[in-house]
Amino acid sequence: MTRVLVFGYGNPGRLDDGLGPALVEALAERGLAGEITLESGYQLQVEDAELVANHDVVVFVDAHTSCAPPFELHRLEARSETEFTTHALTPAAVLALAREHFGSHAAGYVLGIRGYAFDDFGERLSPLAQSNLAAAVQFVLQALRDGRIDVPAVAGNPEGDLHVRA
Amino acid sequence: MEATSGRRIVIEPVTRVEGHGKVTILLDAEGHVERARFHVVEFRGFERFIQGRPYWEVPVAVQRLCGICPVSHHLCAAKAMDRIVGGEKLTPTAEKMRRLMHYGQTFQSHALHFFHLASPDLLFGFGSDVNARHVLGIAAKFPDLARQGILMRKYGQEIIRLTAGKKVHGTGAIPGGINKNLSLAERDLLLQDLAQMKDWARATVQLARDYTLAHIDMLGGFGSFPSNHMCLVRADGALDLYDGGLRAVDAQGRTIFDHVDPQRYLDFIAEEVKPWSYMKFPFIKSLGPEHGWYRVGPLSRISACSFIDTPLAEAARQEFMQVAGGKPSAVTMAYHWARMIELLHAVEKIDELLHDRDLQGTDLVVKGERRGEAVAIIEAPRGTLFHHYKVDENDQVTMANLIVSTTSNNEPMNRAVESVARQFLDGVEITEGLLNHVEVAIRAYDPCLSCATHALGQMPLDVQVVDAAGQVVGRRVKGSKER
């Protein structure tokens, strides 16, 4: 059985930056915690590489500032970043650390959900972000039902990248 | 755009520090560095975010402030709310659980900083190839060190999870106490890896020590300067990261004030506002704003405390002080060595606490006479952290004032950047070497620039050269966009 990790990250106290954790929360409310691993955090960190390594498919979920709404799904390649900007790591860097240190072969994706409001404190999503979140949740639920986020399905994608518009 | 007689060079944001910031280097008419400023996009509005909330929500809500040291804010707010409910004299179980949480936080934070933020600079050199000078470069060339860093960070996170309830946004500390103890099974889980963590911590202190001593001449001229220092100390003068009174010493180690009750911090510390920065500039009142600026954090704590109450860290502190001539070190890069001494201290305290059966106690909460105002101070990994609240009769917060460690280190970071810029800026070209030397100096302080949003598509490194007329005459962008 494919071990799937959905990892939403962002700061729920900074408006739409909380889209990633909000998606994880929505999946948990639908009872998916027993079927897949759900994790959320402020940022991706080095120790997340070990968690990633315990799974076959990892979907990193974050707010996106500029993608076409409602969201984009993007196949991720492990990558040694030439630069990283904060204490946090990028999904590609976490995937690379998982491979380097824990022998991981996990397939990685980034699900970027379009957000709009980031510049204030507040534990709420903007109306448009809520709408995009709902679409992303439906997409993930459908993908899990269909088994589309799965290693064989991805490996069969000749482009290597899977772009999905809901 | 700020009007100057010369040129202005802007570097923004600084990489590998939390949040966003930018550096402005001001040149005089002859093209020489006149001064440097490290701008911080601070968490304006956060006090408003807290105001109106019931006081018992605050220890959880303040964790929204920072993704790197939420535990420090959690505990500092809880300490303030202890006073609000009249429960500042915690039960032994509650205080020791909080201390364990705090040492776990310090351990993971210091390990993360050293192995994954600072070590690329130290092990590869400040001027080495930027394409390899990052954590994955360390992973490739020093795989054991990188793995140690991951596992040490994970160990500290496990302590946080078991004491706070979860790794992020824990709820462990509540006004007047704690909401859980540590079960024997949880204790035994943490004991499994303790010896390994101590061994690695000792080796890391050695690594930082050896690096500092091997490069002491170079480091002495790199962003270094004498300064005042401030930190909490225990009643007997010992290093205490969780509680105590405020101590400030000057560059010679002479006492400016000592054992100041946190409730009286405004009698000793004031904050200056400058027009070009959102961030305030704290200073020691008795010395005034010009001479009263001070440093906080590991360098200050190791320099200003009388001793450390754990044997391995104390031995390391004594050598540190001997190298510094018995007075506070002026070497900015010695922050790294001091930070690792604290890492060792933290794991020694974790060892001590895990063998204390008070952690399995069941008396978790106390309350007393209700108050309307409280101040709490804690030594966060990056330095002294102040939380000050007023709460009305309806239990709602009406005022919140926070002084974070990065604010206290604001002036020292400006001076460090200025020193480095004077040394390495040649003309107006922002070279890769200049950029990284500036960043190395700032990183020594491990600043936390508030928990900025980090959504995909943000956070390029944008470097601009702007002339006196406000025209951009040069630009350099080092992006880190996800795609």
CATH classification at residue A102:
3.40.50.1450
Report residue B44's pLDDT band, with 50, 70 and 90 as the boundaries: low
A93 within domain boundaries: yes
**B131–A64: do the CB atoms touch at under 8 Å?**
no
pLDDT at position B446, please? Answer: 84
What does the alpha-carbon distance between residue B311 and residue B348 come to, in Å, rounded to a whole number? Answer: 8
Most confident of A72-86, B132-146, B232-246, B429-443: B232-246
Q: How far is CA A36 from CA A7, A27, A46, B12, B129, in A?
A: 11, 10, 21, 40, 41
What does the alpha-carbon distance between residue B476 and residue B466 come to, in Å, rounded to a whole number? Answer: 12
Q: Is B19 at the interface with chain A, CB within 8 A?
A: yes
Nearest to A10 by CA among A113, A93, A160: A113
Q: Which domain holds residue A72?
A: 4-155
A126 within domain boundaries: yes
End-to-end CA distance of chain B: 31
pLDDT at position A160, please? Answer: 41
The answer to whether residues A10 and A60 touch, using CB atoms and an 8 Å cutoff, is no
Q: Is B153 at the interface with chain A, CB within 8 A?
A: yes
Nearest to B149 among A46, A84, A119 (CB): A46
Q: Which residues in chain B have Cβ-Cβ distances shorter than 8 Å to A60?
A: none
A39 within domain boundaries: yes
Return the minimum-mean-pLDDT range out of A131-140, B161-170, B190-199, B250-259: B161-170
A113 within domain boundaries: yes
Residues 106-165 of A with CB under 8 A from B: 110, 112, 115, 118-123
**Percentage, residues of chain A above pLDDT 70:** 83
**A123–B64: do the CB atoms touch at under 8 Å?**
yes
- In tens, the pLDDT along B274-308 reads 776 667 789 999 999 999 999 999 999 999 999 99
Ordered structural domains, chain B, with CATH: 8-41+410-478 (no CATH), 90-224+331-365 (1.10.645.10), 226-330 (no CATH)
Q: Is A14 at the interface with chain B, CB within 8 A?
A: yes
Return the minimum-mean-pLDDT range out of A109-123, B94-108, B456-470: B456-470
pLDDT at position B458, please? Answer: 40
**B65–A85: do the CB atoms touch at under 8 Å?**
no
Residues 49-78 of B with CB under 8 A from A: 49, 61, 64-65, 67-68, 70
What does the alpha-carbon distance between residue A75 and residue A73 come to, in Å, rounded to a whole number? Answer: 7
pLDDT at position A153, please? Answer: 41
Sheet hosting strand B245-249, strand order edge to edge: B255-260, B245-249, B228-233, B294-295
Cβ-based neighbours of A107, under 8 Å, separated by 6 or more: A56, A57, A58, A75, A151, A154, A155
- In tens, the pLDDT along A105-135 reads 999 999 999 999 887 778 899 999 999 999 9
pLDDT at position B178, please? Answer: 97
Return the minimum-mean-pLDDT range out of B66-75, B81-90, B429-438: B429-438
A166 within domain boundaries: no
Structure token digits, residue B145: 């060190």
3-state secondary structure of A108: strand
The answer to whether residues B377 and B76 touch, using CB atoms and an 8 Å cutoff, is yes
Nearest to B450 by CA among B270, B229, B278: B278
Return the minimum-mean-pLDDT range out of B44-53, B87-96, B148-157, B203-212: B44-53
Q: How far is CA B427 from CA A64, B126, B431, in A?
A: 38, 20, 10
pLDDT tops 50 at residue B331: yes
Return the minimum-mean-pLDDT range out of A14-28, A36-50, B344-358: A36-50
What does the alpha-carbon distance between residue A124 and residue B165 come to, in Å, rounded to a whole number? Answer: 24
pLDDT at position B74, please? Answer: 96
Report residue B227's pLDDT band, with 50, 70 and 90 as the boundaries: very high
What does the alpha-carbon distance between residue B96 and residue B356 come to, in Å, rounded to a whole number? Answer: 9
- In tens, the pLDDT along A66-99 reads 888 999 988 888 776 544 334 567 899 899 889 9
What does the alpha-carbon distance between residue B411 and residue B252 come to, in Å, rounded to a whole number? Answer: 19
Q: pTM of the full predicted structure?
A: 0.86
Identity (one letter) of the amino acid at B269?
A: I
Report residue B169's pLDDT band, with 50, 70 and 90 as the boundaries: confident
- In tens, the pLDDT along B363-391 reads 999 999 999 999 999 999 999 999 999 99
Q: Which residues in chain B have Cβ-Cβ distances shorter than 8 Å to A84?
A: 15-16, 134-135, 480
A145 within domain boundaries: yes
Q: Which residues in chain A have Cβ-Cβ distances shorter than 8 Å to B452?
A: 14, 86
pLDDT at position B21, please? Answer: 59
A164 within domain boundaries: no
**Chain A closest CA to B481's CA: distance in Å?**
9
Q: State the total domains in chain A.
A: 1
What does the alpha-carbon distance between residue A52 and residue A41 come to, in Å, rounded to a whole number? Answer: 14
pLDDT at position B10, please? Answer: 56
What does the alpha-carbon distance between residue B355 and residue B50 come to, in Å, rounded to a whole number? Answer: 37
A162 within domain boundaries: no
Q: How far is CA B190 from CA B62, B184, B347, in A?
A: 27, 10, 11
3-state secondary structure of B471: coil
Nearest to B325 by CA among B429, B220, B436: B220
Identity (one letter) of the amino acid at A149?
A: I
Report residue B468's pLDDT band, with 50, 70 and 90 as the boundaries: low
Identity (one letter) of the amino acid at B369?
A: E
Report residue B457's pLDDT band, with 50, 70 and 90 as the boundaries: very low
3-state secondary structure of A8: strand
**Chain B closest CA to A123's CA: distance in Å?**
9
Nearest to B453 among A11, A74, A87 (CB): A11
